[in-house]
Amino acid sequence: MTTTVPTPVGQEVGAATPAARAARPVGATARAVRQTLRRPAVLIALGWLVLVVVTSLLAGPLSPFDPLAQDLGSRLQGPTAAHLLGTDDLGRDLLSRILHGGGVLLLAAVVPVLVSYLLGVPAGLLVGYVGGKADAVADFVVNVLFAIPALVVVLAVSVVTDNNLPIMTVVFGVVVSGGIFRLVRASTQASRDLLYVDAARVSGVTRTTILARHILPNVLGPLIVQGFLLYSGAFLFLTSLSFLGLGFDPQEPSWGQLVFDATAKLDTDPWLMVPIGVVLIATVAALNYVGNALLATLPSSRRARLLTPTRRPVLPVADAHGTGSTAPAPLPAGPGGDEPRLVVEGLVVSFRGEDGRWQPVVDGVSFAVERGRTLCLVGESGCGKTMTALATLGLLPEGGAAAGSVRLGGQELIGLDEKAMARVRGSRIALVSQEPMVALDPCFSVRSQLGDVVRLHRGGSRADVRTRTLDLLRLVGIPNAERVGRSFPHQLSGGMAQRVCIALALAGEPDVLVADEPTTALDPTIQAEILDLLRSLQDSLGLALVLVTHDLGVVADIGDTAAVMYAGQVVELAPVEELLAAPRHPYSRGLLDAMPEDAERGVPLRTVPGVVPLPKDWPTHCRFAARCELATDACRTGPVPIEVVGPDHQSRCIRTAETARGVHPVATGGQS
Amino acid sequence: MTVPGTTSPSSPLLRIADLHVDYKLPGWRTTPLRAVDGVDLTLAEGETLGVVGESGSGKSTIGRALLGLAPVTSGSIELAGHDITHTKAGDRKHIASDLQVVFQDPYGSLNPSRTVGKTLAEPLEAVAGADGSTALAEIRGLLSKVRLPDDAVDRYPNAFSGGQRQRIAIARAMAVNPKLIVCDEAISALDVVTQAQVLNLLRDLQRDTGVAFLFIAHNLPVVSYFSDRVLVLYRGRVMESGPAATIHARPAHPYSQALRAAVPVPDVAAQRVLRRQRQAVVRATTAQARPAPEQGCPFAPRCPHAAEVCWTTRPADTPFEDRVVACHVFDAASGHPQAGGAPDLVAGELAPTAP
Ligand SMILES: Nc1ncnc2c1ncn2[C@@H]1O[C@H](COP(=O)(O)OP(=O)(O)OP(=O)(O)O)[C@@H](O)[C@H]1O
Ligand code: SF4
Ligand code: SF4
Ligand SMILES: [Mg+2]
């Protein structure tokens, strides 16, 4: 293990993304929990619970009277200066009795939670990981447990054991442990097939280590929430027992008993019920409220909230010009001087950082697409291709804002409110995304999802919608539309799912289709079919297509114009044929060199060293300089503007004139 | 089956014979799904064998069976002279030092809540029983091997890009100096530049350590660029196998031809030609194709040369030049009307049969 590979000169492959220095990633759940804990209502409920626990702990010092001391002289008083909450029919101080009556319940309710953890967690982990027969046996046992009425069992135990509270709580814990078991088993099954678990198994890591290291941490969040809910259930259950006079020493005060006493006197002395009623209801309500708030932080319930559209923030004027280093280059005029179908000019997309400052991630992008033509956005991951595409649809993720100009058939889209944008989206411009399976809702059949969109855009009778739905499926090359329409997303292959997604996008008859890496997740054979489909749709419907890809082969196949993006900027905009035959920007050349198609076997691929810088690390000079083999000092003096280098051809490089003459870096061992 | 024209050492590092893998499908009395259907392969030390095929062709399953992550129905797997066909993942300590894996998904294959250092220490501890301090020195060595800085040790995977994560996964696989690494679509999720960087890195590591690769991917040009020999897989069966260079330059089996023509080239004129070729070498899109026959050739529904015999009889593995092809056209005795037309087929000049 002592051989080290010589690192070629000037290659900073290893420079790790300086983001998130050694910071432990905060899981989505942890973040959601933290947000929940900041809500005032949750804080109040928590505050109450803390108060109850603390006062119960300090019941002795806090109580003005001995809770058992009788004072027959002051029976059944309402609130007085001496007895703040009054007295009961033996003259005992109610405040003292309430203070003393909670602790034993709060404590006893911990037992069932502990018991179900002790039983449910190991069993769930093991059964979930091993599966097979163990799973079937465990499932049977749990089903039996669920069928047992807890109250009946505990009552029976109370009779048999002569009212022994510890035994009763343990038995209760056993009966309810099925819920914890099922939770742990389900989470374990979900984590069992994760790739990093497979990798650990391949490394020969033992089963116990894998469970403790890789699987248990994933289960922890839901487990804590579930434990809290269980606790609040157990608390209520035990209070009911004590109301029935079971399990708790009738001599000692307990909240259930206080309620029981008050019930007996409800007609004559209703006040007795007020203090204990308020305390009990508040405690149970607080437990439930906090429990449900925590429950809502679990991923399964978070999904629903994704459906509500987020409000789009507006970029302050000062930030709306991005780094302002570059004036938008003049756009090539369309034939006949008409404005092209889609025009993007000086588009800036920014996200607000944790310090409140706006950080541009797309910085002054301009391009235009004609009817029936295809523009490809090309570049490595992290260059801003997807954000550019999403901004044209007003679909930026939360916290993002766009400025500049996006004109669709002459109409300005930047600054439209969400309602107006929703009308434009789908009916005039639509999106096809990279992951067809993610874009489809697993719970509904293809027919019903497609039907919904058709109804939304065109309305019409049920029969009309149905016909149109089947027509759309046939339009995207699905021959057995009836059968595919009835199926659910998980029954479709990747290629078929992408066809369905294209049909969804076409349902509103848009003029412009934005496709974000529509074929990257697919096999070459399926990719070729989808590209054929897009091409034929373009011919028949006159669609303008914006296609995001990192594969110059796809560009050659379907593109008319290509905009090569690097670090948030367009660095070269050219007709595809020209770009591929004679790229003018060193980065475009680097992308071409990385293609293995015609590479010689055994010879390292010539490619661009290093990685795309993060937006916060963009230099003010040429952003490609750190990776460019042609870089000179002049490249590091100031912003490089994009320049027109030929008809319809622009390049953002000060050595463009030389690249035209074929000055390209000699192979200086362009390894890795 | 040995591939003619390639050196086949007396005892290869890996020998898989007649491998069958069935997946049990959920449900009562469902017929299991045959993911791998009688695959033979051998792999010598320091060699790279490419396995290529489209989604669902069973290429990942071969890798997973080898790693003990998929159940072997029948057949045998022999690694460095030991039969490991039925060794479960839990009993793999002694195998783990010879056999490691790099998965496709750079985001899913690293535990997000463990530092890079801990991830890399895992195989060292499990296999070599290394303790904290000796492991740390080794880990630094590993990181420099895959050209990541020392201080990556204390960071979490979220601080790294996809390509960098894949380097970490490669470092984890290299940690115990294995003889063989299964690369299951290790570069398919990366962009072209990162993909080229990772390919160059793997090649350097192979040169320095002599590790062998089972390189699984769906892109024929990438696989043939990177491998010494290539296996073309379709529906769990080997369609064609032979030296990478010839399969890339002159794919023989109709399915290999379709795969080859499906990957677009970055040249507009050449791509236009290739697109026409592709439309000629497949008869139906995957969406339109009829289901494949139980018996017979699995590619028949999409093959432009399909004939009666293709629907009824499984093609025999037939030697052709320096490779082996499972197609009736190459087998003079098959009864296919175009049998013997192999040279024309390879040259792309064989007319389609009547549909
Ligand atoms: N755990 C499983 N249970 C049932 N079927 C499975 C399972 N894993 C894979 N399959 C099926 O086995 C077949 C072969 O799968 P495999 O993953 O080996 O294909 P692949 O060539 O690697 O495809 P891809 O490129 O999509 O990864 C497919 O039809 C797949 O749906
Ligand atoms: S301006 Fe200089 S550093 Fe930037 S791409 Fe051109 S030659 Fe390279
Ligand atoms: S056996 Fe028949 S169907 Fe299969 S590839 Fe050959 S010609 Fe085509
Ligand atoms: Mg796979």
Q: What is the 3-state secondary structure (H, E, C) of chain B?
A: CCCCCCCCCCCCCEEEEEEEEEECCCCCCCCCEEEEEEEEEEECCCCEEEEECCCCCCHHHHHHHHCCCCCCCEEEEEECCEECCCCCHHHCHHHHCCEEEECCCCCCCCCCCCCHHHHHHHHHHHHHCCCHHHHHHHHHHHHHHCCCCHHHHHCCHHHCCHHHHHHHHHHHHHCCCCCEEEEECCCCCCCHHHHHHHHHHHHHHHHHHCCEEEEEECCHHHHHHHCCEEEEEECCEEEEEEEHHHHHHCCCCHHHHHHHHHCCCCCHHHHHHHHHHHHHHCCCCCCCCCCCCCCCCCCHHHCCCCCHHHHHCCCCEEEECCEEEECHHHCCCCCCCCCCCHHHHHHCCCCCCCC
Of the pLDDT bands very low, low, confident and very high (cuts 50, 70, 90), residue A282 is: very high
- β B48-52/B229-234 pair status: parallel
Cα gap B250→B272, rounded to integer Å:
19
Amino acid at B197: Q
Residues B220 and B339 in one domain: no
Question: Is 70 exceeded by the pLDDT of residue A16?
Answer: no
* Residue B354 is assigned to a structural domain of this protein: no
Residues B179 and B86 in one domain: yes
In the numeric block, which tokens belong to residue A588? Answer: 């475009």
B220 contacts B196 by C-beta, under 8 angstroms: no
Q: Which one is predicted more confidently, A138 or A323?
A: A138
Which range is least confidently modeled, A268-277, A296-305, A442-451? A296-305
Provide the 3-class DSSP secondary structure of residue A372. coil
Provide the 3-class DSSP secondary structure of residue A470. helix
pLDDT for res B46: 93
Q: Tell me whether residue A47 is exposed, middle or buried, using C-beta atoms within 10 angstroms of its C-beta: 0 to 12, 13 to 18, 19 or more.
A: exposed
How many A from CA of A488 to the centre of ligand 3?
32
pLDDT for res A27: 58
Number of domains in chain B: 2
Q: What ipTM was reported for this prediction?
A: 0.86
Residue A579, φ and ψ in degrees, nearest 5: -60, -45
DSSP assignment, residue A82?
A: S
Q: Mark residue A439 as left, alpha or beta (left: phi above 0; alpha: psi -120 to 50; beta: remaining).
A: alpha
Cα gap A189→A671, rounded to integer Å:
41
Of the pLDDT bands very low, low, confident and very high (cuts 50, 70, 90), residue B36 is: very high
* Residue B6 is assigned to a structural domain of this protein: no
**A202–B68 C-beta distance less than 8 A:** yes
A512 contacts A408 by C-beta, under 8 angstroms: yes
* Residue B85 is assigned to a structural domain of this protein: yes
DSSP assignment, residue A368?
A: E
CATH code, B153 = 3.40.50.300
Give the total residue count for chain A.
672
SS3 string, A211-278, reads HHHHHHHHHHHHHHHHHHHHHHHHHHHHHHHHHCCCCCCCCCCCHHHHHHHHHHCCCCCHHHHHHHHH
Which range is least confidently modeled, A158-167, A168-177, A382-391, A596-605? A596-605
**A381–B96 C-beta distance less than 8 A:** no
Q: What is the DSSP string of A414-451?
A: TT--HHHHHHHBTTTEEEE-S-HHHHS-TTS-HHHHHH
Question: A523: which chain B residues are within 8 Å (Cβ-Cβ)?
Answer: 54-55, 218, 262
A99 contacts A67 by C-beta, under 8 angstroms: yes
Provide the 3-class DSSP secondary structure of residue A344. strand
A595/B contact by beta carbon, under 8 A: yes
Residue B316, φ and ψ in degrees, nearest 5: -85, 155
How many A from CA of B164 to the centre of ligand 3?
42
Q: What is chain A's percent helix, strand, coil content, to nearest 5?
A: 50, 10, 35
Per residue in A463-473, pLDDT tens?
899 999 999 99
pLDDT for res A13: 36
* Residue B353 is assigned to a structural domain of this protein: no
**A611–B163 C-beta distance less than 8 A:** yes
Residue nearest to atom 2 of ligand 1 (CA): B23
Instruction: State the greatest distance between any 2 C-alpha atoms of chain A, in Å, as a whole number.
Output: 111
Query: Percentage of chain A surpassing pLDDT 90?
Result: 28
Residue B44, φ and ψ in degrees, nearest 5: -90, 165
Residues B19 and B151 in one domain: yes
CA distance A137 to chain B (A): 18
Cα gap A174→A120, rounded to integer Å:
9
Of the pLDDT bands very low, low, confident and very high (cuts 50, 70, 90), residue A259 is: confident
Question: Is 80 exceeded by the pLDDT of residue A123?
Answer: yes
Once rounded to an integer, what is the mean pLDDT over residues B127-139? Answer: 78
Residue B61 Cα: closest atom of ligand 1? 18
pLDDT for res A312: 59
A381/B contact by beta carbon, under 8 A: yes
* Residue B125 is assigned to a structural domain of this protein: yes
Residues B100 and B30 in one domain: yes
User: Which H/E stretch holds residue A504?
Assistant: helix A494-506
Q: Which one is predicted more confidently, B224 or A204?
A: B224
Which range is least confidently modeled, A314-323, B47-56, B110-119, B240-249? A314-323
Ligand with the closest atom to the CA of B59: 1
A605/B contact by beta carbon, under 8 A: yes
Tell me the domains of chain A and their CATH numbers: 29-64+81-302 (1.10.3720.10), 321-369+380-418+564-596+604-672 (3.40.50.300)
- Cα-Cα-Cα-Cα dihedral sign, residues A430, A384, A609, B106: negative
- β A400-408/B74-79 pair status: unpaired
Identify the domain boundary among B234, B265, B280.
B234
B279 contacts A529 by C-beta, under 8 angstroms: no
Which range is least confidently modeled, A81-85, A408-412, A592-596, B168-172? A81-85
Cα gap B294→B299, rounded to integer Å:
11
Residue A659 Cα: closest atom of ligand 2? 7
Cα gap B315→B237, rounded to integer Å:
11
Residues B101 and B144 in one domain: yes
Q: What is the DSSP string of A525-590?
A: HHHHHHHHHHHHHHHHH--EEEEEES-HHHHHHH-SEEEEEETTEEEEEEEHHHHHHS--SHHHHH
DSSP assignment, residue A303?
A: G
Neighbours of ion ligand 4 (CB under 5 A): B 60
B84 contacts B77 by C-beta, under 8 angstroms: yes
**Interacting residues of A342 by C-beta distance below 8 A, sequence separation 6+:** A368, A369, A392, A406, A407, A408, A429, A512, A544, A546
Ligand 2 close to Cβ of residue A571 (< 6 A)? no
Per residue in B9-24, pLDDT tens?
467 899 999 999 998 8
**A596–B266 C-beta distance less than 8 A:** no
Domain around B300:
252-345
A618 contacts A568 by C-beta, under 8 angstroms: yes
Residue nearest to atom 6 of ligand 2 (CA): A653
Q: Can you say how many angstroms the Cα of residue A125 is from the centroid of all Cα atoms in its chain?
A: 25
Q: Give, for ligand 1, the residue of B57, B73, B237, B255 to mutate: max count of ligand atoms closer than 8 Å to Cβ.
A: B57
Top-confidence range, A346-350, B184-188, B288-292: A346-350
**Interacting residues of B10 by C-beta distance below 8 A, sequence separation 6+:** none
Ligand 3 close to Cβ of residue B68 (< 6 A)? no
CA distance A231 to chain B (A): 28
Residues B152 and B274 in one domain: no
CB atoms within 10 A of CB A295: 16
Once rounded to an integer, what is the mean pLDDT over residues A389-408? Answer: 88
Residues B282 and B207 in one domain: no
* Residue B131 is assigned to a structural domain of this protein: yes
Nearest CA in chain A to B218: A523
Question: B198: which chain A residues are within 8 Å (Cβ-Cβ)?
Answer: 672
DSSP assignment, residue A643?
A: E
Question: Is 90 exceeded by the pLDDT of residue A607?
Answer: no
Residues B217 and B272 in one domain: no
CB atoms within 10 A of CB A266: 10
CA distance A668 to chain B (A): 14
Question: B258: which chain A residues are within 8 Å (Cβ-Cβ)?
Answer: 525
CA distance A606 to chain B (A): 8
Residues B36 and B183 in one domain: yes
Question: Is 90 exceeded by the pLDDT of residue A660?
Answer: no
Cα gap B231→B238, rounded to integer Å:
7
Residues B180 and B259 in one domain: no
Nearest CA in chain B to A549: B191
DSSP assignment, residue A480?
A: -
**Interacting residues of A667 by C-beta distance below 8 A, sequence separation 6+:** A606
A6/B contact by beta carbon, under 8 A: no
User: Which H/E stretch holds residue A342?
Assistant: strand A342-352
A594/B contact by beta carbon, under 8 A: yes
Torsion of CA A595, A596, A602, A605, to 10 degrees: 10
HSE-up of residue A115 (Cα within 13 Å, Cβ side): 19
Once rounded to an integer, what is the mean pLDDT over residues A93-99? Answer: 86
In the numeric block, which tokens belong to residue B95? Answer: 């195998």
Order of strands, edge to edge, in the sheet holding B82-83? Answer: B33-43, B14-23, B74-79, B82-83
CB atoms within 10 A of CB B10: 4
**Helix axis angle, B116-123 to B132-145, nearest 10°:** 110
Q: Number of Cβ pairs closer than 8 Å across A and B?
A: 276
Residues B222 and B135 in one domain: yes
A132/B contact by beta carbon, under 8 A: no
Identify the domain boundary among B189, B205, B234.
B234
Residues B221 and B264 in one domain: no
In the numeric block, which tokens belong to residue A170? Answer: 């343990």
pLDDT averaged over every residue in chain B: 87
In the numeric block, which tokens belong to residue A398? Answer: 């939360």
Rg (CA), chain A: 34
CA distance B315 to chain A (A): 23
In DSSP terms, A408 is beta-bridged to A342, A411
How many A from CA of A281 to the centre of ligand 1?
55
Identify the domain boundary among B206, B234, B262.
B234
* Residue B242 is assigned to a structural domain of this protein: no
A487/B contact by beta carbon, under 8 A: no
User: Which H/E stretch holds residue A360?
Assistant: strand A358-369
* Residue B245 is assigned to a structural domain of this protein: no
